[in-house]
A = this chain, B = another copy of it.
């Protein structure tokens, strides 16, 4: 299953699709060049409206994650073609700042936070599809 939707969540469905696809790519479950199911097929598979799926695909295309080839279908983009790299790194830094604030309010010290982070990075990337790691 390349996607999992929580119907009751406060997170809009189309955003769950966007996050899910990004996560599957990052984890190596989807690869550059792979063809995604059509908008309509995805809608049917997860019992969603096709407009909702189309909105998610449009957002993913705007982010440079997927590429729509007219009537040929939709494909995972190559990571080299990263769009707005500097903008994305800015967003990343802002997310880190938020993380620090939340850590402080959870009663975590900077040193504990560093250790947690390094452990989490290693665990996370180790969980990736091994084939992906060989590249």
Interface, chain A (partner B; CB < 8 A): 7-8, 12-13, 19, 22-23, 25-26, 63, 65, 67, 69-70, 79-80, 82, 85, 88-89, 91-93, 95-108, 110, 113-114, 116-118, 120-122, 124-125
Contact = CB atoms under 8 A, between A and B. Distances in A.
Contacts of A117: 96, 114, 117
B70 A105 contact: no
B104 A99 contact: no
Nearest to A84: B106
Given A13-B70, A110-B122, 9 more contacts: A19-B98, A22-B101, A22-B105, A25-B105, A79-B104, A89-B108, A92-B99, A96-B124, A110-B121
